[in-house]
Each structure stands twice: as structure tokens, then as C-alpha cells.
Chains A and B, each alone.
Chain A
């Protein structure tokens, strides 16, 4: 069953809206720099949403703020903002930071004095993404916050597809959001996978990832709902699948079997063969392991002619937002007829059998693949169609 995308909301360091994002892609602009949101001794560039101007949701977590702003954009894009009441709308959102009580000052004070103010706890309790959106929009329908690490955004879209396909709702708001936060910044640093310079996905000299922040939200609808509302789709989610490596908490299975299963499953779900895919937006974090495993699997399945890229060089790794943002970027690319160059890529790693596109590249065809991989061995793939 096809699921239709009728609205998009994309916020990242690449841009606070589609126009700004496309301008970054077109010019190769990379808006990364020293962290300004919190003090840190760790030297790694970060991709902050620096000019985030919508502060009307001020007394909430930054992650929920980003998510609500992207949701608002998606609803406006779908002409649905004023029509929500009475509709069966599900909310599936992915996050990592938004799900944890990780306020250092709260914990330090509790530990040292045995008591601490509840302000950060209250913010956390109001900060669950799907519940927050559910409450803010007063929607009626299923609601789930997915915490599948860096695959959460793609998985949330998959959850929404399951709901729509089984009739639990007619419309779904799906995606992911994460803010740049000190605790994961330190955590990724401890794993030795943060780069001290701008990230370079699939490059010989890649040194790791840069963290970013943002929110990606897709407004998904069943065919009946879309026809009832007389809306035209911007895209169709043709296929989805996900799998687990059952291998390691933080490292991908070197064989890539889990990712291969997810991609193959998504293609079967879409009823397509690999050669139908016009381009691939790879997870491409720029860590040694991720890029090696992912590129090998893409080569196995698609050969060396299907263009692919990672957009992490424009956004940083936005964790749970990544899968949803990148699904959105696929839609923009299908609409525009070109994909941006893989920012940061210069020289091919001899262990990697295929090279991403280094320059902005025209594409032909109607289908894109977006892949996501996450800690805990999560692998997800989405097949996206540009409607005729």
C-alpha cells in the first residue's frame, strides 16, 4: 500500500526551511563551527541550528521546540494546520536526547546535597516528543516516541506507515528531532568517533562524525485521506523495512547483513528492483566502520553506477532527526532533479569500492533510497517515489 507525503518540515544547520536548505546544497555551504549552545572542552565542529528564530514555544526542551516548528511547517505545507480537529492523526517521532533526563546541574546538586530543584525534571516530563505534539495539536490517534538511536527518524516513518496501512489512522505526523546536547557530545567523544575537523563521508581521510541538530517531519496520508482533501502528493513512500544486526551495541556488523536485509526488504515492499533506484542518500556518518560497511553493501546491491551521497557534510549527524531529514532531502532532490555533492568527500578510500558524487549531479528517474543505521544494530531503509 502506497503512503503519500503531503507536507514537509525540515530544520537543520543546512537551513531552517526548504529554500535555505537547497541554497546550502547548491553552493556547498557547510555551516559548522565551535559549539555555542554549551561550554565544552571537546574540540569537534558541530552543526547548530544557529539562527533558529521561532521561540514562541519557549518553556520547553529545545528538541521539542525544533520538532514543533518542523511539524508546524509540515502541517502548513499540507494545508492541514487549520483542519486538524476531528481527524484521526497519528504521531510517531524519533528522538534520542529528548528521551533522557540528563541535566548535569540537577544530578550534581541531588548527589551533593540530597535534593535539587525540579525545573529540569518538569521540562523533561513535558518533553516527550510524540506526547508533546499530541498535546499541542490535540490530535486523536496513536502516538509513539521511537528511541532507536540514529535510525529513530526512519523508524518513526515506518511506524506511521504501519498505522496507515492497518487503518489505525488516516494521517500521520512522522519524523524525528534532536538538539545538540553536551552529554551525547561527551559520549560520542568517549567512543572516539568525533572528528576534530569537518566530517568527510566515504573519504580516505575520514576521521569520524560531527554532531548536528535539527528536526525532520513528514506529513503522511492514506490515498483516501489525500483524495478527500483534494491534495496532491509531493512524494510517495513506496517501501520500508528494518532489521537488526544482533551483533554489537555501537559497532555495525562488519558483514552488513542487517543493512542488506533492510534495503532488500524495502525494495520488495516497493515492488522494485535495485536498478529502478535513481540515487541513494546514504547514512554516511564519516566514521571508519559505518562508511566501510555501508558502501560495501550499496556496491553489492546496486553496483557502481547508482549515484549516492551522504548529506551529513551539510547537517552533521543529527541523530534521531537524520533519517527523517534525509527522507525529506530525497524528496527535494527528486523534485529538483539533482543531488548535491557529498560535502567533505575528496579522495576514495581503496577499501571502499564505490565513490559518492563529489559534485552536484543531475538525476533521472523517480525513485530514491534513504538508509539509516544506528547504535544497537538498527538498520532501516525507505524507498521514496516522485509521483508522475
Chain B
């Protein structure tokens, strides 16, 4: 794969908006999740992270899902040092990957039908309930008239989106691609998680314990990467390999492996087959919670570590005695990192990143 260089990153997590807040979260490690009125624990994005009138004036009527998307996407452009006004707006593609889409808004449409009848659905709510509304807002906010695509899958959604971004660049279709993920919590989704998964009652996910039934705390957020083939614009290293096949075992020439946890993929014992004892392993999902597209957060963590030449301690090492776990944050030479995740068929996906 031709290296895909990272020019800018935008991220919104439970710790707030921006790379600095995410980096601070990596340094601080695990904290208690938020607790909703109905007692459910989740790593939710704070309300103040989605207030920015400079952006909101362009997307005034947007729903929360769209705001999560637009803010992180705009931040990735800003972080790259590009001025939105100077962008070649037809040569940037946008890919938004999501697992569950704007489901909270979809439930509002259902509420309209239930409460007011079939003929009284709010047209504005319906328009926002369509999966690609958020990507459309990104295009409008940035004035981008190039290809805009929304994709959805429960597993490997970010990896597939990244692979497509790489294809677009390889084809010469575009000079840059803004590729990212977004997913949100809602009371109904948190209930579904509770019913289908094993929620960690103590609020601590333990991704490194590789459990048969992983303990889970729902999370949400958004993360975008502005990527290109232009090595001179590189700010955070590059994506160099993506493998999404059932029989891949990753790479042995990396300095660190980061594993992801979403719990919906079931047993994490599958990681035992691929983790090389000689390579340190880390996991950070207990900081921001588990969600199907959270692998992008692991890639943000990797990008920061490669840039800062610093490895951050795993957020929760419970049950990880047998692994070569990163227990302390420290400066270290890091040239390559792989991010690993799995699906419910025991298949693994790998993203390799380099300095």
C-alpha cells in the first residue's frame, strides 16, 4: 500500500473536543464514566464540546450526530494548518463511517409516528435521520463539492473507509480525503448494550484481559483524519498497511500493538493468537468507552505516540498479567505501531502506521 500521510486530526471524545484533550486523557488514564438519570454508565461526549458558534452558524439546524461529525471534520482541516477558504474544494473527498448512524434522530421520527400519527412526522427530523445528513453538513460547512460518501458497517467500518480513501488517492481521483468515524450513545442504544453485552458494573473495561465475554461500557465520539499522498504535508505519520482478512496475523516489525475493544465482537481471546510476546501491547478503550467504530480512536492514539515519540500507559491493565503490557508512560523510539480489532467471526483487522 502506498503510504497515506496524515495531515491533520480532529477528535471529540468523552473528555471533550480536540487533540489536546484526547492526549490529556491518554496521560491521565481511566476515569469513571458518566452516569445517566436512569443509572446507566457510559462515556458520553459533554454538551459543551458541541458548542461553537463559528461552526454552528453554518449548520444551525443540525442534530447532535451531525455536530459530532462536523466539529471533528472541521477540526481535522484546522489542525492541518489549511485555511478552509484556501481549500481546493473539488479535490477533497469526504468519507464518514458509522456503525449505527443517527439512530437517536431516527428514534425521534418513530416518536413522531407514535405520538402524532403517520402524517405528522417532522420533515426536519426525517431529513436528519438519513445516514448521510451528517456528511452533507460537513460538505456544506467546508464548501466541499468533491465526492462525499457515508458508509456503515458494524465491524471494521473505519478500516474499510480508510481502504477506500487509499483507493481514491491511488486512482488520482482526489488530492486529499477527509476520512473519519462517528457514533453516538442514546438511552435506547445503552439499553440494547445492556441487554446484549456484559456491562462492567464497576465502570472499568478491561480490554487486556482478553475475556470470553468482555466487560463493556458504551462510548461515543468522532474522529477525522485529513490524509493525502503528499509526504511533505505529513504531520502525524502515515497509514502504511491495512489488512482485513480472516487469516492475517499482523506484523512482527512493529514497536507497539494497540488492541481495540467493542465487546460486540464477542470473545477477545482471538487476540491471543496474534499478540507477539516480544512486542509491547496497549489498550485505551477503557478511557473513551467501547463503540464499533472506536478503532479510529486507537489510530489517533497511535498517531500521537508516533509524533511525540512517547508511549502512553494502558488505561486499565486488569487481568493482563501474561502480556507485555505498557504499564508506564514514557519517551520511547517508536517507528511503527499496529492497531488491531476483531469482529464476531473471530476475524481480525490490522492497521499499520509509521512515524
**Partner of A104 from B113, B136, B156, B196 at Cβ < 8 Å:** B113
Say whether B123 contacts A191, CB under 8 Å: yes
Can you name the residue of chain A whose Cβ is closest to the Cβ of B132?
Answer: A376
* A125 CA / B100 CA spacing, docked (Å): 10
A interface footprint on B100-117 (CB within 8 Å = 1, 0 otherwise): 110100110111111001
Chain B residues lying within 8 Å of A166, measured Cβ to Cβ, are 166-167, 170-171
Contact stretch, chosen from B76-84, B137-145, B272-280, B307-315: B137-145
Q: Is the CB of B146 within 8 A of A244?
A: yes
Partner of A100, one of B103, B111, B122, B147: B103
Q: Does A272 contact B (CB under 8 A)?
A: no
Q: Are A244 and B167 within 8 A (Cβ)?
A: no
B13 at the interface (CB under 8 A from A): no
Binds B, one of A60-68, A144-152, A279-287, A325-333: A144-152
Residues of B within 8 Å of A261, CB to CB, are: 90, 145
- B154 located at the interface, meaning its Cβ lies under 8 Å from any Cβ of chain A in the complex: yes
How many of chain A's residues touch chain B, expressed as a range?
A: 35 or more
B1 to A: closest C-beta gap in Å: 10
Contact B130 A375 (CB under 8 A): yes
Residues of B close to A249: CB separation below 8 A? 127-128, 130, 133, 136-137
| Residues of A contacting B136 in the complex (Cβ-Cβ under 8 angstroms) | 244, 246, 249, 375-377
Pick from A102, A147, A187, A189: contact of B150, CB under 8 Å: A147
Contacts of B160 in A (CB 8 A): 142-144
Number of B interface residues at 8 Å Cβ cutoff, please give it: 69
Question: In the complex, what distance in Å separates the CA atom of A261 from the CA atom of B139?
Answer: 15
Interface 1/0s, chain A 23-50, versus B by CB < 8 A?
Answer: 0000000000000000011100000000
Contacts of B129 in A (CB 8 A): 100, 187
Residues of B within 8 A of A118 (CB): 192, 195-196
* CB interface residues, B 40-67, toward A, < 8 Å: none
Say whether B149 faces chain A, with CB atoms less than 8 Å apart. Answer: yes
B232: chain A residues at CB < 8 Å are none
Contact B148 A377 (CB under 8 A): yes
Contact A107 B114 (CB under 8 A): yes
Q: How far is the CB of A145 from chain B (nearest CB, A)?
A: 5
A39 to chain B, nearest CB (A): 9
Who on chain A is nearest to B155 by CB? A131
Interface residues of B in 235-283 (CB under 8 A from A): 244-246
CB distance from A87 to the nearest CB of B (A): 13
Contact B145 A102 (CB under 8 A): no
B323 on interface, CB distance cutoff 8 Å: no
Cβ of A242 within 8 Å of any chain B Cβ, yes or no, is yes
Most-contacted residue by chain A among B129, B135, B152, B192 (CB, 10 A): B152
A244 and B144 within 8 A (CB) = yes
A32 to B: closest C-beta gap in Å: 19
B121 interface contact, C-beta 8 A: yes
Q: Please, how many angstroms separate the alpha-carbon atoms of A229 and B149 in the complex?
A: 33
Mark interface residues in A79-106 (1 if CB within 8 Å of B CB, else 0).
0000000000000000010011110100
Q: Does A163 contact B (CB under 8 A)?
A: yes
Instruction: Report, nearest first, the 5 A-B pairs whose CB atoms are least far apart.
Output: A376-B136, A187-B126, A147-B131, A190-B121, A244-B148
12 A-B pairs, CB-CB below 8 angstroms? Answer: A115-B191, A128-B152, A145-B151, A146-B150, A147-B150, A159-B149, A166-B167, A166-B170, A183-B106, A244-B145, A246-B139, A246-B144
